[in-house]
Amino acid sequence: MVQATKPQVKSVDIEALEQRFKEFLYAGKGKVTNERLSLLRTLYSHEGHFSVDELLDLMQADHFKVSRATVYRTLDLLVQSGLVRKLVLMDQDTRYESALTTGHHDHMICLDCHRITEFFNPQLEQIQDEILEQNNMEPVKHIHQLYGRCTLTDCPGKKTATNGPSR
């Protein structure tokens, strides 16, 4: 059977991305501001799937001062521009990832430590498309999320006997 693999990470030219975002904003979507450009820069200089709080922390670490409202508004614009992907997880937990450093992939999420792992399996992709075709539908997109629990002993969310009473 075909193993699921991690999607390949492509390097991107941040200047070109900024230019793309500027053109999107110039086309009547909003003002080009340093805050907006710095959020794009921060998102692309870290690998991962970030919550708004995590992005605020990263921006602070990079010495960019932005308000939460600006981050929300800018993320909306970045998603519309196609530069950032929004992930809605279980319980409406929302994460953001750079859209151009990886191709299509799906996600598995640990319910204990909330670690998000990317995977890509060509067979699974094909089966999903075939199911659509068998039902007279043309594939457009899919969101595939697997929820589980890390079996690794280093899962930071794992409850152990020394962690107090188990629920």
Our CB check for Zn ion shows the closer of 70 and 121 to be 121
**Angle CA(58)–CA(63)–CA(66) in degrees, nearest 5?**
75
Our CB check for Zn ion shows the closer of 36 and 95 to be 95
CB of 167 to Zn ion, least distance (A): 30
CB of 116 to Zn ion, least distance (A): 7
Which two structure tokens, joined as six digits, stand for 88? 């809605």
User: Interface with Zn ion by CB under 5 A: which residues?
Assistant: 97, 106, 118, 144
Our CB check for Zn ion shows the closer of 5 and 60 to be 5
Q: How far apart are CA 78 and CA 84, in angstroms?
A: 5
Q: What sign has the CA pseudo-torsion 75, 79, 82, 86?
A: positive
Minimal CB distance residue for Zn ion: 106
